[in-house]
Structure 1
Amino acid sequence: MSPLTALTYVLPHRLLSSLARKLAYSTHPKTKQWLIDTVVRNFGVDLSEAAEPDPSAYPTFNAFFTRALKPGARTPDPDPRALLMPADGRVSECGHIGHADEGVLHEDAGHVFQAKGHGFTTAELLADEAAAEAFDGGVYATVYLSPKDYHRVHMPWTGTLRETVHVPGRLFSVGPDAVGAVSKLFARNERLVCHFDTDFGPMAVVMVGALLVSGVETVWSGVEIPPYGGPVTVKDYRGENIRLERFAEMARFNYGSTVIVLLPKGVAELASHLSAESPVRLGQQLARLS
C-alpha cells in the first residue's frame, strides 16, 4: 500500500469532496482555467474528440469534465446481440459472479473480485440481498474512468428504470493502488445503484463515487450525489416508464470513478478480449447475449 493510499484511511473524505465540488463549479476565470489546464496537461486529455475542443470555452471545470463528445466520436458495436461498454476507461476486473460452492467467502451470495484477491458480495455492493440473488452465477465488469476519460455513462442495453438505491459510504480513491489495497473498496464507497428491467431480465449499473468526486447525476433525476452520507435512499420508478435505449446516455460523473455492470446467469458471455487492465471505449462489446 502506498503512503498516499494509507493516508486516505484518515482523511476527511466528505469534507475534501465537498471542497472539490466548490472548486469544480467555480466560475472564477483563473481558478477554472488552472484546473482545466492542469488536467489536460497532466493526463493527456484528447480534446479533438470533444464537441467543444477549446479548453477556455468551458464556464467551469465541471462543465469541462463532463464535456460532450462530437457526434460519431463513439459508435455502438454493430452486432445487435452485443451489450455495450458503458464508458471509456480501463477494466479493473471482469468475470463470473461466484457461487458458494466455488469456495468463496460467503455462503449465501454471489462474489465478485475487485483486484489482487480482494472481493465482495453482490449483496454488499447493492445493499440488498434479495436484489443480489438475481445476479448469482451471472457476469460482471468493472470499468475505471481516469481523469482523462469521457465521463458520461451510457446504457449497455435497452432497459426500463425500476429503482435507484443511493448507498452512503466512504470516498476512497478508486485508482489502481487503492483498488489493490483497500478491502471491499467498491462495496464501501458511496454509490448509486441503478436497477433496470430488460428483455432478458434485470440489469444493474452501479456508479461508484471516489475521493474528490463532486457528484453523480442521472438523466432522469439530475444530481443524486451529493448529498453525501445519510441513510440508504431508495427511489421507486415503477410505473413511470423511464425507458433508455441501448447506447443512450444514462448518467455522468464529476471526476474519475468506476462503473460496475451486473448481468444475470445464463444471459450473456463477456467479450473474449476483455481482461483485467484492458483499455476500453464506450460502445465496444462488453458481452454478447447467449
Structure 2
Amino acid sequence: MNYHHYYIDRHTGGAVMEKLAADAIVRFLYSPVREKSEKMFRMITSPGYSDFIAKFNYDFPFLGRRQAGQMAKKLGIDLPECLEDPGYFDSARKLFERKIRYCETRPMPENHDSIVSPADSRVITGSLLETEDIFIKDKFFTVGELMGKSIWAERFADGDFAVFRLTPDKYHYNHMPVSGRILDFYEIDGGFHSCNPCAIVSMVTPYSKNRRFVTLIDTDVEAGSGVGIVAMIEVVALMIGDVVQCYSEEGYDSPTPVTSGLYVKKGCPKSLFRPGSSTDILLFEKGRIRFSDDIIANLFRPGVQSRFSIGFRQPLVETDVRVRSEIAVAIK
C-alpha cells in the first residue's frame, strides 16, 4: 500500500507532502522481503556499499553550471544564500556540502534561554516518561542502546528528546544547539540504514543500529545555556559514510575537532554530514527544558497523514525547522 508522508511547514503552518528519496527502493529493502534475503539486506546496508552508492550519486560531475542550477531548483535549494558562487557547484556532493551565510539566512533568537535546532530538518519531540505512548523506548530505540555507555544513559532517564531528520536536499552542517563544555565525545560503530520514514517504522531499532557519534555537553558552566547535560547524537544513514567534526566559532574558519574540555557556543557549526539523508537526536535531563508550543501542537495535528502515524497508530507529525531556530527553552 502506498502511504503519503506529510510534515508541517513551520513558517506557513500548512501540511506539505514530502517526496521521499528513493522511496520504492527503501520500502522494498525494509519490507518483509528482507527477512527472506538477509544476505542482500546486509550487503546493501554495509559501509562498503553505502560508500559506493554515495560516490555514484554525488561525485559524478554535472555537465555544467546550468545542470547544477536545475538540480538546485528541483530540490528547492536557495543558491544565493550559499557562500560559494553558483559556478562552484559542478557536482551533487558540492551542492549538498554547501556552506551558507548562516548569520544572515539563519538568524538565532536573542533569548539566552533558547535551545536551537542543530540542523535544517524535520523534528519530532517527546518525553521518555511516555515511551509506551510514542513507541520510542524498546521500539524506536532505548537510550542505553543508542548511547552505548550506561553511565551517560542513566542521566537521561525520564528526560526529553528530539529527533531531527535531514533529507538529502537539506543543508548538511550541524550547529551547536546549546553553549557549554564538552564532557565526552565518542563513536559507536554500526550499519548504514536509511532515515526514510518507511525504514524507521519498519526497523525495530534503526537508530540504535546505525553508526553514530555521541557528544555530551555540560551546559551548567560559566556562559553555558544552563539546561544540565545535553546529549547530541549524530546518526549516519545510507550514503552517509562519515560525520566530519569541524567546530568553528567564526563562520567556517579554523575548524577544530570536537574533544573533551572544548567550550562550544550555541549556533556555531559543529560538524558536517557527508551527502545523503541523516538524523540528529538531542537528549535532555528531566525537567530542564520545555519544547516550543507550535512543535508540540503540530506533533498531534489531526488529519495529517505521516508514516510515523501509520506505524505507531497515533498522530506523530514532524515540523520542518531551520538550523539555529528556537525549538525549546530552559525551565528556570
TM-score (norm 2): 0.70
In the TM superposition, what whole-angstrom CA distance separates every residue of 1:37-90 from its partner, at most 9, and x where no partner exists?
Answer: 685355332223222251x41365433212111240101122221111111111
In the TM superposition, what whole-angstrom CA distance separates every residue of 1:95-144 from its partner, at most 9, and x where no partner exists?
Answer: 1123xxx6759xxxxx9728xx9422111110111211111121110011
One-letter amino acid of the counterpart of residue 286, structure 1:
I
The answer for unaligned runs of 5 or more in structure 1 is 106-110, 222-234
Separation of aligned partners in 1, 2:70 and 2:30: 22
Q: Which residue of 1 aligns with 2:30?
A: 5
Q: Is residue 2:57 matched to residue 1:16?
A: no
Following superposition, the deviation at residue 258 of structure 1 comes to 0.5
Separation of aligned partners in 2, 1:283 and 1:220: 15
Equivalent of 2:216 in 195, 202, 214: 195
Equivalent of 1:249 in 269, 274, 287: 269
Q: CA RMSD in A?
A: 3.1
Q: Which residue of 2 aligns with 1:210?
A: 237
1:150-161 to 2 correspondences below 5 Å: 150-161=171-182
Q: Which residue of 1 aligns with 2:93?
A: 62
Separation of aligned partners in 1, 2:176 and 2:63: 34
1:97–1:112 CA contact under 8 A, matched in 2: no
In the TM superposition, what whole-angstrom CA distance separates every residue of 1:139-195 from its partner, at most 9, and x where no partner exists?
Answer: 110011111111111111102122222111111100111112111111111111111
In the TM superposition, what whole-angstrom CA distance separates every residue of 1:191-213 from its partner, at most 9, and x where no partner exists?
Answer: 11111111132111100000111
- Sort the Cα spacing of 1:237 and 1:34 in 2 relative to 1 into closer, same or farther, 3 A: same
1:23–1:32 CA contact under 8 A, matched in 2: no
- Sort the Cα spacing of 1:214 and 1:119 in 2 relative to 1 into closer, same or farther, 3 A: closer
Select the structure that is richer in strand: 1
* Sequence identity (%): 25
1:39-188 to 2 correspondences below 5 Å: 40=72, 42-52=74-84, 54=86, 56-58=87-89, 60-70=91-101, 71-91=103-123, 93-98=124-129, 104=132, 113=136, 118-188=139-209
Following superposition, the deviation at residue 29 of structure 1 comes to 4.2
1:21–1:215 CA contact under 8 A, matched in 2: no
Q: Which residue of 2 aligns with 1:264?
A: 285
One-letter amino acid of the counterpart of residue 263, structure 1:
F
SS at match of 1:123: helix
The answer for unaligned runs of 5 or more in structure 2 is 2-26, 35-39, 221-226, 249-256, 300-316
- Sort the Cα spacing of 1:68 and 1:82 in 2 relative to 1 into closer, same or farther, 3 A: same
Following superposition, the deviation at residue 273 of structure 1 comes to 1.2
- Sort the Cα spacing of 1:80 and 1:236 in 2 relative to 1 into closer, same or farther, 3 A: closer
Select the structure that is richer in helix: 2
One-letter amino acid of the counterpart of residue 203, structure 1:
V
* Count of residue pairs the alignment pairs up: 262
Separation of aligned partners in 1, 2:273 and 2:66: 20
1:24–1:214 CA contact under 8 A, matched in 2: no
Q: Which residue of 2 aligns with 1:281?
A: 322
